[in-house]
Amino acid sequence: MSLHHYLRLKRLWAVRVQLMTGGDGLTVKAAALGNGFWHLGDFSRSYRLVFGEAPSETLARGRRPLHLAIDA
């Protein structure tokens, strides 16, 4: 694995953790930009390839109350 690929994956995982644990004020755009992704289309495409879902889906799931997340 190249260094570039490793660093990109590390940044994608950082965004995922933020989206899964973020509060109501967090947006996908803010999380992506905060982790160095400037082209949001490329970011979204890469995120979907790595995690199998859109970043907005991760954020929506992260905002659900705990009892709903366990039942799903």
pLDDT of residue 69: 54
pLDDT of residue 12: 98
59-63 long-range contacts (CB < 8 A, ≥24 apart) are 59/19, 59/22, 59/26, 59/27, 59/28, 59/31, 61/20, 62/19, 62/20, 62/21, 62/22, 63/22, 63/24
Residue-wise pLDDT tens digits, 3-31: 999 999 999 999 999 999 987 789 999 99
pTM: 0.82
Look at 71 and 20; give whichever has higher pLDDT.
Answer: 20
Residue-wise pLDDT tens digits, 48-65: 999 999 999 999 988 776
